Amino acid sequence: MTEFDYLSKYYEPEEVGVGMLRASSPSLAEQLRKMQAFLGLRVTGKLDYSTMEMMRAPRCGVPDVENYRLFPGTPKWKSNIITYRIAKYTSTLPRAEVDHAIDMGLKAWSSVTPLHFQKIQRGEADIMISFEVGAHGDAYPFDGPRGTLAHAFAPAEGLGGDTHFDDEEKWTMGTNGFNLFTVAAHELGHALGLAHSSDPSALMFPTYKYQDARGFTLPSDDVKGIQALYGKLLTLLTPPSPSWPVNRSPNMCENDMTFDAVTVVGNELLFFKEGYMWRRQSQLTDVRPSYIRSSFPQLFTNVDAAYEVPEKGTAYLFKGSNYWTSRGLQTIGGPRSITDFGLPSRVRHVDAAVYLKDTKQTLFFVGNDLYSFNQANSQLEEGYPKKIEEEFSGIRGKVDAAVEVNGFLYLFSGPNAYKLDSEREDVIRIVKANSWLGC
């Protein structure tokens, strides 16, 4: 796009005919001044070099440069589970379309990070979303049609994370007006902690450019920025391919290999078996075996079950009727008794444990029984124990290990790992347990 195309596109062609475009035109100079002020450029009202730079077509072929910016003090959300609420809708789009556009805007960010968004209908959410007109109670009144389309506040208590759309814009789901998904995706980037990028192909570039929600993938500069704040999504939807170099330790690739416990810790997956532990990183090319006792000397060998509560950064490791807590690969507490979880005293050990992010429940597998512990109020839930096979049809026999990765629950039973759908009702895939280690 040339500077002239840009001008004819953005500078009120209704008012300033394309043929009349001259840098001296008063309404053009006025528009330029407003935009320069908005973009933090020197306000000259003229088409100077830095203004032209801002309007330049997206740069191509400069992959490894970082252009994203974070806010001063690098504010970010402390929990990976972030609540949002659409508190005030626009009258010009059906509510379902607004919901959809916001949903897709959030997905753009959650698909490359470990972030989860939880929609709430009442009360105070981290991200309060509303459509507003003119002065609306913060220090940044909207300016009527065009000009500034929306704004959002960096993560913090109160106004932090809140996202406002100018309700005098023509919001649309397509291209006729301002596309709500496009603007929402940009604003939500601010609400998560990204400031503007100087990369014109980035979503966080400060001027509007239509993006199709279908098939949208976050530009690489934005991916780098958001992952600098929240880390990467574990890319473990499929087990690693056997061709990857794997340092094989005793029996690891035997056909009937089973695990004692599996858990996520930080952005690694840990597999426990007798005295060994294998660590699989998210961006892995290798799986490294080590001795359990070198990371967790208190446990020495054999772990029965393990799970992590990522919001707390704490992992729980079980052995017999005791458990230990750890931060990363360092034990910090224990031994304590598993009766802390409300498990009846007849339970002498647990076979497997997994924390479910959406519901903040921890499931304990004990023989044929399933217990559910509510991590939020620290109580065992009513109605448990239930029979494992009633809850998870298709799983027969006892569960050795369990882990949740990218929203999918994996149950390890004997030599198999069962992948369950997100409603946790159907087994959608069965693989050899040790295929996760590259066997």
Contact residues for ligand RRS, defined by CB under 6 A: 10, 31, 34-35, 38, 146-152, 183, 186-187, 190, 206-208
Beta carbons within 8 Å of 311's beta carbon, 6+ residues apart: 78, 79, 80, 81
- Out of Ca ion, ligand RRS, Zn ion, none, what residue 138 binds, judged by CB under 5 to 8 A for its kind, is Zn ion
Looking at the Cβ atoms of 181 and 410, the one nearer to ligand RRS is 181
Distance CA 77, CA 155 (A): 6
- Out of ligand RRS, Ca ion, Zn ion, none, what residue 33 binds, judged by CB under 5 to 8 A for its kind, is none
Give the interface with Ca ion as residue ranges (CB under 5 A). 143, 147-148, 166
Least distance CB 39 / ligand RRS (angstroms): 7
Phi first, then psi, for residue 192 (nearest 5°) are -95, -10
Least distance CB 195 / Zn ion (angstroms): 8
Looking at the Cβ atoms of 145 and 394, the one nearer to ligand RRS is 145
Least distance CB 153 / Ca ion (angstroms): 17
Looking at the Cβ atoms of 165 and 355, the one nearer to Ca ion is 165
Contact 404, 355 (CB under 8 A): yes
Least distance CB 186 / ligand RRS (angstroms): 4
Looking at the Cβ atoms of 144 and 313, the one nearer to ligand RRS is 144
Distance CA 91, CA 88 (A): 10
Looking at the Cβ atoms of 150 and 420, the one nearer to ligand RRS is 150
- Out of ligand RRS, Zn ion, Ca ion, none, what residue 166 binds, judged by CB under 5 to 8 A for its kind, is Ca ion
Least distance CB 364 / ligand RRS (angstroms): 45
Strand order through the sheet with 268-273: 261-265, 268-273, 276-281, 287-291
C-alpha distances in Å from residue 90, one per residue of 105, 121, 170, 437: 17, 16, 10, 50
Q: Which of 54, 84, 85, 164 binds Zn ion (CB under 5 A)?
A: 164
Q: What is the DSSP string of 90-153?
A: -SSS-HHHHHHHHHHHHHHHHTSSS-EEEE-SSS--SEEEEEE-SS-SSS----SSSS--EEE-
Task: Give the interface size with Zn ion as a residue count (CB under 5 A).
Answer: 2
- Out of Ca ion, ligand RRS, Zn ion, none, what residue 369 binds, judged by CB under 5 to 8 A for its kind, is none
Looking at the Cβ atoms of 150 and 343, the one nearer to ligand RRS is 150
Bridge partners, residue 370, by sequence: 365, 386
Hey, is 288 helix, strand or coil? strand
Scan residues 133-152 and list those touching Zn ion (CB under 5 A): 138
Distance CA 8, CA 5 (A): 5
Place of tokens 């000259």: 44
Looking at the Cβ atoms of 36 and 416, the one nearer to ligand RRS is 36
Beta-strand ranges (E) seen in 203-252 are none
- Out of ligand RRS, Zn ion, Ca ion, none, what residue 207 binds, judged by CB under 5 to 8 A for its kind, is ligand RRS
Place of tokens 């805007």: 105
- Out of Zn ion, ligand RRS, Ca ion, none, what residue 150 binds, judged by CB under 5 to 8 A for its kind, is ligand RRS
The answer to whether 222 contacts Zn ion (rule: CB under 5 A) is no
- Out of Zn ion, Ca ion, ligand RRS, none, what residue 34 binds, judged by CB under 5 to 8 A for its kind, is ligand RRS
Q: Looking at the annotation, which residues are catalytic?
A: 187
Q: Exposed e or buried b for every residue in 31-48, given b needs 16+ CB within 10 A? A: bbebbbeebebeeebebe
Instruction: Give me the residue whose beta carbon is nearest to Zn ion.
Output: 164
Contact 163, 169 (CB under 8 A): no
**Closest of 224, 265, 264 to residue 113, by C-alpha:** 224
Least distance CB 50 / ligand RRS (angstroms): 15
